[in-house]
Amino acid sequence: MWYFAWLLGLPLAATFAVLNAMWFELMDDAGDERG
């Protein structure tokens, strides 16, 4: 059943990484506009 964990975990981790990067870029832009 280990493959089931990988099947769910890998896309989830990839999605989290992408959303995290996008969020940090948005926060960076907002900080630049305020500053």
Answer whether residue 34 is part of any domain: no
**Taking the model in full, what pTM does it have?**
0.60
Q: Which domain holds residue 22?
A: 1-29
Asked if residue 35 belongs to a domain, the reply is no
The pair of structure tokens assigned to 7 is 């099947």
Tell whether the torsion through CA atoms of 15, 21, 25 and 30 is positive or negative: positive
Q: Which residues contact 13 (CB under 8 A, 6 or more apart)?
A: none
Q: How many domains does the structure of the chain reveal?
A: 1
Amino acid at 4: F
Query: What is the reported pLDDT for 31?
Result: 66
Report pLDDT digits (tens) over 14-27. 999 999 999 999 98
Identify whether 4 is part of a domain: yes
pLDDT at 5 over 80: yes
